[in-house]
Chains A and B, each alone.
Chain A
Amino acid sequence: MAFINYYKILGVSKTATEKEIKASYRKLARKYHPDLNPDNKKAELKFKEINEANQVLSDPENRKKYDKYGEDWKRGEESEKAQQQYQSQNRSRQQDFSDREYSDFFESMFGGRASSRQSHYTKFKGQDYHAELHLDLKDAYTTHKQLLTVNNTKIRLTIPAGVENDQVIKIKGKGGEGLNGGPDGDLYIKFIINNQTQFKRDGNNLYSNVNIDLYTSLLGEEIMVDTFNGKVKLKIAPETQNETKVKLKGKGFPVYKKKDAFGDLIITYHIKTPTHLREKEKELFKELQKLG
């Protein structure tokens, strides 16, 4: 357990006045407050640090104790042991946050939440939880149910088809327990879609490349091509040019929360010219060249 320099965290000297501590706390809080930094874990941790530092240094009793034992807090811990035991017996049950509100250092010195003048922050919404859910593109193609365990709570989640990479959904009230009767926090799930398929996705549209040989591109033919959910027959027109794009309507990705709506599949033809020509072929191509 490392010693935490609360003065350094608040950027004030050991001789700072209450007013200076308060001003510094306000300034840092305005910078790192979670409401001003949504989805920013670093800011959230920083805010907890400065909050903790403020709870100690803005309370004369806590500050005195911190100054007295300071870096040698272990010795102080011994002498305060009896008092802490009493406090812990009388303290209401602590919340079961995955990210604890206070550092080990703080809890060893002050036994959990400090007696503080900050108690006017009464009802406080519980902590918002953030989780990432990794899906394959194939999973995102169909609506399916998934059982998640977040902080020992099982949540049955229906993931609608068409969910986007980096998309975040909010599950109300599934975050941390509210403080002092405040509402529970929310659970935010961010989807990370891994794509191991031959298809590339842009919104609801899918893209793929199809290689065709020179003769097919010149003379035309029917070929079978892969779509995301099966094969379809495609007629290649004679004299098809390289990089020609064909749109297969409704063969793309499902539209999020829109029943039976799909994007398009855009196929790009790549013409592969023959290699290792035999003498006879070379002669024939030369004749064609003369004709051209």
Chain B
Amino acid sequence: MENNLIAITTLCSHYEIEFSFIDALRKTGLIQIVIIEQDQFIDQDQISELEKMIRLHNELNVNIEGIDVIFNLLEKEKELREELSALKNRLRLFEED
């Protein structure tokens, strides 16, 4: 499992972000941080979501609360899109008669 972990310090220097930003995301529950012997890590599965958060923050000036709202709405939108797709498929049962 530890192979999949990336040190927060590495992330901060790679993405040129402050540790406080990562910590604020953690406090809001947007990311999870793993602590091993006082070092902090993030699982690589969370990287693509983290990158999205960084882009929203840097490019659109969205604050942490805004990112939280956006992620919740995007999740709902995804669920609705999946539901719509499933319903379209079911509708085909009747349309093809």
Residues of A whose CB lies within 8 Å of any CB of B are 26, 29-30, 33, 35-36, 38-39, 120-125, 164-166, 183, 186, 195, 200-203, 207
Interface 9-residue window, one of B22-30, B35-43, B82-90: B82-90
Chain A residues, Cβ within 8 Å of B93: 200-202, 207
Q: How far is the CA of A166 from the CA of B81 in the complex (A)?
A: 10
Tell me whether A33 and B74 are in contact (CB under 8 A): no
5 A-B pairs with C-beta separation under 8 A:
A33-B59, A36-B70, A38-B78, A166-B88, A183-B51
Q: Which residue of B lies closest to A124 (CB)?
A: B55
Docked complex: B40-97 residues within 8 A CB-CB of A: 47-48, 51-52, 55-56, 58-62, 70, 74, 77-78, 81, 85-86, 88-90, 92-93, 96
Contact in complex: B60, A29 (CB < 8 Å): yes
A33: B residues at CB distance < 8 A: 55-56, 59-60
How many angstroms between the C-alpha atoms of A125 and B54 in the bound complex? 11
The answer to whether A122 touches B52 (Cβ under 8 A) is no
List 13 additional A-B contacts (Cβ < 8 Å) besides A35-B56, A183-B51, A186-B48: A26-B61, A33-B59, A38-B78, A121-B58, A123-B14, A123-B16, A166-B85, A195-B92, A200-B96, A201-B89, A201-B93, A202-B89, A202-B90
Measured between beta carbons, the chain B residues less than 8 angstroms from A164 are 89
A200 — nearest CB in chain B belongs to which residue? B93
Q: Mostly helix, strand, loop or mixed at chain A's interface?
A: loop
The answer to whether A200 and B92 touch across the interface, beta carbons within 8 angstroms, is yes
Report whether A121 and B74 are in contact in the complex, using a CB–CB cutoff of 8 Å: no
Measured CB to CB, the nearest residue on chain A to B78 is: A38
- Residues of B bordering A, CB below 8 Å: 14-16, 47-48, 51-52, 55-56, 58-62, 70, 74, 77-78, 81, 85-86, 88-90, 92-93, 96
Minimum CB distance partner of A34 in chain B: B55
- Kindly state the separation between the CA atoms of A164 and B85 in the bound complex, as whole angstroms: 10
On chain B, the residues within 8 Å of A38 by CB distance are 74, 77-78
Residue in contact with B52 in the complex, picked from A29, A35, A120, A195, CB distance below 8 Å: A35
Task: Let me know if A123 and B15 touch, CB within 8 A.
Answer: yes
Measured CB to CB, the closest approach of chain B to A96, in angstroms, equals 22
* Interchain CB contact (< 8 A) of A122 among B16, B86, B92: B16
Return the chain A residue nearest B61 by Cβ: A26
In this complex, what residue of B is CB-closest to A165?
Answer: B89
- The minimal Cβ–Cβ distance linking A203 to chain B, given in whole angstroms, is 8
Question: A125–B15 Cα gap in the complex (Å)?
Answer: 11
Inside 8 A of A35's CB, which chain B residues have their CB? 52, 55-56
CA distance A119 to B85 in the complex (A): 40
> Are the CB atoms of A26 and B89 closer together than 8 Å?
no
Contacting residues, chain B, for A30 (C-beta < 8 A): 60, 62
Which residues of chain A come closer than 8 Å to B85, judged between CB atoms?
Answer: 165-166
Nearest Cβ on chain B to A22's Cβ, whole angstroms:
10
A125/B51 in contact, CB under 8 A: yes
- Rounded to whole angstroms, the CA-CA distance of A202 and B86 in the bound complex is 9
Chain A residue, CB-CB nearest to B85:
A166
Minimal beta-carbon separation of B85 from chain A (angstroms) = 4
